[in-house]
Structure 1
């Protein structure tokens, strides 16, 4: 049985060898030694693992969530092709989207999380008007990865730089599933509950820091401070309930495309609750928590960045359009 607490503790104790805490290499090493990458987890265990790793480090949680995503896609569409090691998936395109043109790939991937540490990566490539999944090993991408271009204030350790696939033959990759499989629901946007579970871990970490510091200051019984801490606690629990409901709906064997809306709504709610939680924390802890050495500072920056990925406005608009246009969804969510 995998010890989730032990795996999370390894992440939390990773050496601070980077410019903003533990580096991606240190976090990846902790994930590899923790035993979660190869573990067969129940849905409840997976939920707990995502939250626990996110609570220990949001950057590590992002890497772990990407691994889980890649493994799920491989299990769905090419179980015999699953490699060992730390996996990830890169789906974000920039001005030059990755596409298959004849016998070569063109374009570049952005937000390539773990560009400096992944062993294998699944990338999305346009094939005419559909999407094909391609699996590459790290050696195949030698000289094509630019993690140093990741210059942001939050989630620095994910090293989510650029990957240049221009000129590479798709024949060098392993095709995962058929053209268009990647976008099939509820396995596409339906999987965003996993983002939210990692973010919930960061929310819990900030709540624990706030509670501890208010007690150290002997302010925990001050009415305004107690009210702020109460808001943080209820934000965590609200997000947890929505995310667990979404996970149970999306991951059941008989799940349908309509179940993806539960995951999307839960992910969006988690972001809103995270904002409310951080506002309450800022009021409770004051200016002191903005010192770079304060335990809340990096988590705040990481969480503030993480909840903006990826395209939450597009998710919300798409979800509401489908809910309004689909009688069964309208009945479920509006009544």
Structure 2
């Protein structure tokens, strides 16, 4: 948690790539065979960056068995760090329509494709596409069983890592906010002090939620549905706090917060893009439905 938070402070794009790398390590740990875990650990010792690319491009990635191996066709889009990642955990659909995870090499430059377009923020994450057509995968690179990627609670619980990275960006934004007010000689203004106080409350609130979510994700006695609901609430609490913080900083610093190229503008632009995670409404209503007739799982932590 501390590593992800600190990396998000330094650079959100770097934090995104590190979070993806850690996600791959976690999934191999959970679903890999002992031989796969040992082989993957050895690969990581060479210093490679792993990535997790699960969003399909056009056409989607399909996997078919062929002569004792597996052949892929299709493209993955929204591939973070497409020029830096050497090994990607991807999902592919088999002829029966089931999704399976696998580890695939991603070092061929001529397979790289343009991304979805120029994003408002997070441009340094190097998001692009990768064409896996005719890539041959040995059987021992298939990970787990069909449907494991979406298996709960891990599928939702892993969101705590992204929240930790976002929290790091909030830390940076608060520091830049305070620094600029001090440099302008405006920090003693009562209205600015009010906003600083509000910003600190949001920062600490997000930090407590991230810690709660991280503990829930690894709590051995907590029910899976408790884990999912807790992490979903944490994810949305951090998003809400971050967006409120951005509004406070913009109101306090005025037009200087919108000068492209300034550190404060860069952090806010990246953070607003980073926070756009899928299905926020569903995550909130599912968590609310669970806690409607279940108590908060304090004992599980």
State the TM-score bracket (shorter-chain normalisation): 0.7 to 0.9
Matching residue of 2:62:
99
Matching residue of 1:268:
236
1:188 aligns with 2:131: no
Offset of 1:151 from its aligned partner?
1.5
- The structure-2 alpha-carbon separation of the partners of 1:254 and 1:163, relative to structure 1 and needing over 3 Å to count, comes to farther
Distance 1:314 1:169 in 2: 37
- The structure-2 alpha-carbon separation of the partners of 1:143 and 1:316, relative to structure 1 and needing over 3 Å to count, comes to farther
- 1:1-335 correspondence runs (5 A): 47-78=1-32, 79-82=37-40, 83-84=43-44, 85-94=48-57, 96-103=59-66, 104-127=71-94, 128-139=96-107, 141-146=108-113, 150-171=117-138, 174-258=141-225, 259-323=227-291, 327=293, 330-332=294-296
TM-score w.r.t. the length of structure 1 is 0.78
Contact 1:150 1:159 in 2 (8 A): no
Distance 1:114 1:262 in 2: 30
> Which secondary structure state, in structure 2, belongs to the residue aligned with residue 81 of structure 1?
helix
Distance 1:317 1:282 in 2: 30
Distance 1:296 1:129 in 2: 46
Query: Which blocks of at least 5 consecutive residues in structure 2 are unaligned?
Result: none
Distance 1:159 1:166 in 2: 21
- The structure-2 alpha-carbon separation of the partners of 1:239 and 1:118, relative to structure 1 and needing over 3 Å to count, comes to same
1:101-157 deviations in Å (ceiling 9; x for gaps): 454333321111110101211001123343211101233x44222256652120001
Distance 1:314 1:93 in 2: 21
Q: Determine which structure has greater relative contact order: mean sequence separation of CA pairs < 8 Å that are 6+ residues apart, divided by chain length.
A: 2
Contact 2:78 2:115 in 1 (8 A): no
Number of aligned residue pairs? 282
Distance 1:68 1:321 in 2: 30
Distance 1:138 1:97 in 2: 17
Contact 1:105 1:166 in 2 (8 A): yes
Contact 1:59 1:155 in 2 (8 A): yes
Distance 1:318 1:109 in 2: 28
Distance 1:182 1:218 in 2: 52
Query: Which blocks of at least 5 consecutive residues in structure 1 are unaligned?
Result: 1-46
Offset of 1:172 from its aligned partner?
7.5
RMSD of aligned residue pairs (Cα, Å): 2.1
